[in-house]
Amino acid sequence: MYVFLLIVLFTILGYLLLWLPPAIGGAISFGIFIGLLSRGLYYLYNINKRISKALPTQKELELEDFMKEIKKY
């Protein structure tokens, strides 16, 4: 439902931008586009940071392999 509301609101915004002079409509469109891109990059950075914290490091993996080899003997 939220996605449908956003589609309707952005359709209305698009029609309003068509009625504005090109300089004003272009500036608003550019601001929306850059804002969406920067927000998307922020989310990707945040997801990457969370995933890298959850994954084990190379040292932890080597230590785990070493401990498995020791337990064999």
pLDDT per residue over 44-67, tens digit each? 999 999 988 887 778 877 888 888
How confident is the model at residue 34, as a pLDDT? 92
**Which residues are within 8 A (CB) of 29 and not within 5 positions of it... i.e. 6 or more apart?**
17
With b for 16 or more beta-carbon neighbours within 10 A and e for fewer, the 3-15 pattern comes to eeeeeeeeeeeee
How confident is the model at residue 35, as a pLDDT? 87
Global model pTM greater than 0.85: no
**Which residues are within 8 A (CB) of 28 and not within 5 positions of it... i.e. 6 or more apart?**
17, 20
Find the radius of gyration of the CA atoms of the chain. 24
